[in-house]
């Protein structure tokens, strides 16, 4: 079974668009868990355009499943994660002005930095994952910085899959997953996964532990309803 962690950034975007508390992020997270999701993911960005730092503190009080906080480990983010102590922190090398995450770590170039920051989180009992492209070199580099897991950055998979190139789409991810297994890393995945592509991804990646899904899941919920959509994902991830 692969765990589903629902990324609730988009619910915060909707809430912030009117300045009030609709939809209520806290209640939404509780509901998503009650629908069967095995985790809640948030990705606070420095400008707090969707998830606010205060949301992370508030969610910590209610999330009963796995709480995953993603982000670029700038000092403010590191302090927040150490305060919240989520189940997992996923490090993403986001540029400050990025619309969304658009690259994995260069685990060789940033080795010393990653070693330090990962050690900081692990010494506080927080599981670590780092966002990487499906490249053998980057996965081997991830093992060298001491992370528990990697998160395979699946945007390219999603693009190729949507064009009907299933085997081209999955091949680099399959190979990266084999390397990850060989070097003892757990495997997560995320970015642009959706109801159409997630089953194929899961069936072709050995030991896929967790996917975090936000944008598509919330968009699909507009038509199909949140509870229904969470269950459709759970069915595909069995």
Ligand X SMILES: NCC(=O)COP(=O)(O)O
Residues that bind ligand DXP (CB under 6 A): 7, 9, 43, 45, 70, 92, 100-101, 131, 190-191, 214
Q: Is the dihedral of CA 111, 112, 118, 123 positive or negative?
A: positive
Active-site entry in 66, 70, 151, 210 = 70
CA dihedral of 223, 225, 226, 228, whole degrees rounded to 10: -110
**35 within 8 A of 230, measured Cβ to Cβ:** yes
For ligand X, which is the closer residue by CB, 11 or 193?
A: 193
Residue 192 as a binder of ligand X (CB under 6 A): the answer is yes
107 binds, among ligand DXP, ligand X, none (CB under 5 to 8 A by kind): none
Distance in Å, CB of 218 to ligand X, minimum: 8
Give catalytic status of residue 43 as yes or no: yes
Residue 212 as a binder of ligand X (CB under 6 A): the answer is yes
**88 within 8 A of 71, measured Cβ to Cβ:** no
Distance in Å, CB of 141 to ligand X, minimum: 19
Q: Give the C-alpha separation, 15 to 117, whole Å.
A: 32
Contact pattern for ligand X over residues 56 through 75, marking x by CB under 6 A = --------------x-----
Q: Is the dihedral of CA 189, 118, 38, 14 positive or negative?
A: negative
Query: 3-state SS string over 146-189?
Result: CCCEEEEECHHHHHHHHCCCHHHHHHHHHHHHHHHHHCCCEEEE
216 binds, among ligand X, ligand DXP, none (CB under 5 to 8 A by kind): ligand X
For ligand DXP, which is the closer residue by CB, 15 or 45?
A: 45
**118 within 8 A of 159, measured Cβ to Cβ:** no
For ligand DXP, which is the closer residue by CB, 167 or 172?
A: 172
Could you give the angle at which helices 111-122 and 75-84 cross, rounded to 10 degrees? Answer: 20
Residue 160 as a binder of ligand X (CB under 6 A): the answer is no
Give catalytic status of residue 160 as yes or no: no
Give residues 31-50 in contact with ligand X (rule: CB under 6 A).
Answer: 41
Residue 190 as a binder of ligand X (CB under 6 A): the answer is yes
Active-site entry in 66, 191, 210, 220 = 191
SS3 76: helix
Give the up-direction half-sphere exposure of residue 37: CA atoms within 13 A in the CB hemisphere: 30
Binding-site size for ligand X (CB under 6 A) equals 13
Give catalytic status of residue 235 as yes or no: no
Residues within the annotated binding site for 3-amino-2-oxopropyl phosphate?
A: 7, 18, 192, 214-215
Residues of the shown chain interacting with ligand X in the complex, contacts defined by CB under 6 A: 7, 41, 70, 151, 190-193, 212-216
Task: Cite the active site residues.
Answer: 43, 70, 191
């Amino acid at each position: 079974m692969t765990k589903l962690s629902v990324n609730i950034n988009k619910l915060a975007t909707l809430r912030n668009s009117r300045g009030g508390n609709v939809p209520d992020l806290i209640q939404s997270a509780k509901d998503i868990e009650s629908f069967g999701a095995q985790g809640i993911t948030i990705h606070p960005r420095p400008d707090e355009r969707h998830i606010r730092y205060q949301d992370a503190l508030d969610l910590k009080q209610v999330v009963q499943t796995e709480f995953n906080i993603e982000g670029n480990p700038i000092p403010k983010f590191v302090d927040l994660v150490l305060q919240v102590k989520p189940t997992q922190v996923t490090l993403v090398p986001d540029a400050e002005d990025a619309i969304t995450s658009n690259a994995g770590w260069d685990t060789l170039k940033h080795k010393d930095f990653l070693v330090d920051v990962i050690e900081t989180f692990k010494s506080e009992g927080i599981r670590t994952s780092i966002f990487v492209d499906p490249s053998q070199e980057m996965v081997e580099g991830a093992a060298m910085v001491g992370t528990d897991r990697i998160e395979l950055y699946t945007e390219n998979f999603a693009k190729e899959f949507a064009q009907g190139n299933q085997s081209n789409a999955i091949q680099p991810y399959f190979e990266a997953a084999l390397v990850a297994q060989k070097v003892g890393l757990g495997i997560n995945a995320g970015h642009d996964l959706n109801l159409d592509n997630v089953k194929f991804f899961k069936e072709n990646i050995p030991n896929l532990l967790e996917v975090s899904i936000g944008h598509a899941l919330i968009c699909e919920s507009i038509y199909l309803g949140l509870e229904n959509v969470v269950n459709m994902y759970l069915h595909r991830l069995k």
